[in-house]
Structure 1
Amino acid sequence: MKIVGGVALGPRERIVLLEVGDEWLVIGIVPGQIRTLHRLEKGAAIPADGLPSSAEKPFTQWLQGIAERRKND
């Protein structure tokens, strides 16, 4: 198991990308709880806008974009 990346959503909330075998797990961590949010094939690229497209950003930037959208909602 290896941490690939992550981003803080708040003082005690995080989203982390874990490498487990041939799979990446996107997990959400909050006080008292850890949840699997998504599963990806190891090395899979994530579209910048969360939808299939040819424009892609690194994972950390993608997570930060999601965090910013959550703050604005």
Structure 2
Amino acid sequence: MNATITRLTVADIVASIAHKRGLSTDPADLLADHLSILCEYQGDDVLRMIADLLRDGVLTAIRPII
């Protein structure tokens, strides 16, 4: 029996959540991209999506107390 294993990365999960929430690139993202280029910093789409999800309250950086 051949089992197909699908490996999900954190990037895949973040992209899926962002897509379901309807997040898209806005003018502020485009400005940030241009500023990053001027500063010779290579940005990451996944980091941008995480920041958007944090701003929208979908993700949180606070760990729950167990």
Fold match by TM threshold 0.5: no
- Using the size of structure 1 for normalisation, the TM-score is 0.33
Greater helix fraction, Structure 1 or Structure 2: 2
Higher relative contact order, structure no. (Cα contacts within 8 Å, ≥ 6 residues apart): 2
- Using the size of structure 2 for normalisation, the TM-score is 0.36
